[in-house]
Amino acid sequence: MAFNDLIYFDSTGFHYADYPTLLARITSDFQSIYGIDAYIDPDSQDGQNLAIRATSIYDVCQIVSAAFTQFSPTFAQGLWLSSTVKTNGIRRLTATNSTVDLTIIGTAGTVITNGKAEDTNGAKWNLPATVTIPLDGSIVVTATSETAGAITASSATITKIATPTLGWQTVNNVSAATAGRNMETDAELRTRQRVSTAMPSLSVLEGIKGGIANTIGVTRSKVYENDSNITDADGILAHNISAVVEGGTTQAIADSIALRKTPGTGTYGTTSATTYDRYGVPNTINFYRPTNVTIKMTITISALSGYITAYSDLIKVSMVTYIASLGIGDDVLITKLYVPANLAGTSEGLTFDISSIQIAKNSDALGTANLVLAFNEVAISLTTDITVTVV
């Protein structure tokens, strides 16, 4: 029983026949042994045996095909993808914890061991292992979210002492928490893998993009080039490149740019670091850190059958997630906001109708016009920046 013509590998990949073709081959081989008049209808034992054998072979072919495709970053998933991208010198970004500065007030000399605070959403924040309240009765410490991921907390929302300690009186956060990140998804990792393949390319600019994107700690980046003889509309000087980079250390980013840029090309930005070539010659590399632009919005909705107040929180979270997905320099287009605001594809989204969406940058007045961001700005929003009004 040879299947070389039905199941085989060649230069284009792994190939296998469909189930009916496999069943027909097995049936033909059976009849060549026991005769063409052998009774093999589906209600017979022999007919059922042939079907089981064909199904088994077909199932194995599907497993082999799935395993074969896992060697390609385009199709690999989960642990397979994490392993495959290592050939590009990158690895999946793990989840990080959010951090926040907490003001601890209590009796001087009080020692808080493994203390925890709690925010209004019930999320817990771990204090350093040991905190000693000084003579003035107040100390600011950096707490870490107990749960990894993009845990947010607005100012003045972490006010509950989760581990009561004699002498510890109050806790509060004056400023908002710095959100961590969730585990990098397969889609995000595939995107970064495609960028990473540009590092050894013939295009210097693409190589710089790939190098920066795969610098440890970098979460978002964008690289601009002004190859003209005059300053461009973004203010980038002639014959300069300007990288806008979120995350990563200043020195590591500068080293990555210096390694790949061509001699004589300038770098433009407000953040600087000195790098040294193999001969010890110093070179100053400039780039930008993105400027956060707070996007505030008011969403007016009409409640339909089944709507409950809690759905407004779902709308806010959906909008925060969408804004966080925008890249550096991406404008906020008001028509694009209706999809996440509608909770598209969910049963909750059927319980309300959106009347209007108004947006604004920072402290500007709300309006219905698109928000244009500068090349080195990035949009951010917290749930406290979003108001849902039911009419």
Rounded CA separation 156/366 (Å): 25
Q: What is the pLDDT of residues 30-79, one digit of tens each?
A: 999 999 888 999 889 999 999 999 999 999 999 998 888 787 787 788 88
Q: Residue 333: pLDDT band by 50, 70, 90 thresholds?
A: very high
Segment 328-336 mean pLDDT: 95
Evaluate whether 267 touches 288 at the Cβ level (below 8 Å).
no
pLDDT digits (tens, 9 = 90+) for 233-290: 999 999 999 999 988 888 999 999 998 898 888 999 999 999 988 888 899 999 999 9
Q: How confident is the model at residue 201 (pLDDT cuts 50, 70, 90)?
A: low
Taking residues 183-207, report their average pLDDT. Answer: 76
Question: Residue 1 — very low, low, confident or very high, per pLDDT cuts 50/70/90?
Answer: low
Q: How many CB atoms lie within 10 A of CB 387?
A: 14
Which residue has tokens 């917290």?
A: 382
Predicted local distance difference test score (pLDDT) of residue 122: 93
Residue reference for tokens 């230069």: 11
Phi, psi of 147 (to 5 degrees): -105, 135
Q: How confident is the model at residue 385 (pLDDT cuts 50, 70, 90)?
A: very high
What the block records as the tokens of 306 is: 């089944």
Contact between 334 and 368 under an 8 Å Cβ cutoff? The reply is yes
Q: Give the global pTM.
A: 0.54
24: pLDDT strictly greater than 60: yes
Structure tokens at 166: 């004699």
- Mean confidence (pLDDT) of the chain: 90
What does each C-alpha distance from 230 to 5, 202, 286 come to in angstroms?
64, 25, 19
CATH of 198-287, one of 3.30.460, 3.30.70, 2.60.120, 1.10.3470: 3.30.460
Q: What is the pLDDT of residue 248?
A: 86
Q: How confident is the model at residue 195 (pLDDT cuts 50, 70, 90)?
A: confident
pLDDT at 236: 93
In the chain, what percentage of residues exceed pLDDT 90?
62
Residues 80-103 pLDDT 10s: 888 888 877 778 888 888 888 899
Question: What confidence score (pLDDT) does residue 200 get?
Answer: 56
Could you tell me the two tokens for 135? Answer: 């003579």
Q: What is the pLDDT of residue 182?
A: 82
Q: Break the chain into its structural domains and give their ranges.
A: 7-69, 97-172, 198-287, 292-390
Give the pLDDT confidence score for residue 159 in this predicted structure. 95
pLDDT of 306 > 80? The answer is: yes
Three-state secondary structure of the chain: CCCCCCEEEECCEEEECCHHHHHHHHHHHHHHHHCCCCCCCCCCHHHHHHHHHHHHHHHHHHHHHHHHHCCCCCCCCHHHHHHHHHHHCCCCCCCCEEEEEEEEEECCCCEEECCEEEECCCCEEECCCEEECCCCCEEEEEEEEEEECCCCCCCCCEEEECCCCCCEEEEECCCCCECCCCCCCHHHHHHHHHHHCCCCCCCHHHHHHHHHHCCCCEEEEEEEEECCCCCCCCCCCCCEEEEEEEECCHHHHHHHHHHHCCCCCEECCCEEEEEECCCCCEEEEEEECCEEEEEEEEEEEEECCCCCCCHHHHHHHHHHHHHHHCCCCCCECHHHHHHHHCCCCCCHHHHEEEEEEEEEECCCCCECCCECCCCCEEEECCHHHEEEEEC
Look at residues 211, 145, 212, 154 and name the one whose alpha carbon lies nearest to residue 181. 145
CB count within 10 Å of CB 340 equals 18
The count of residues in the chain is 391
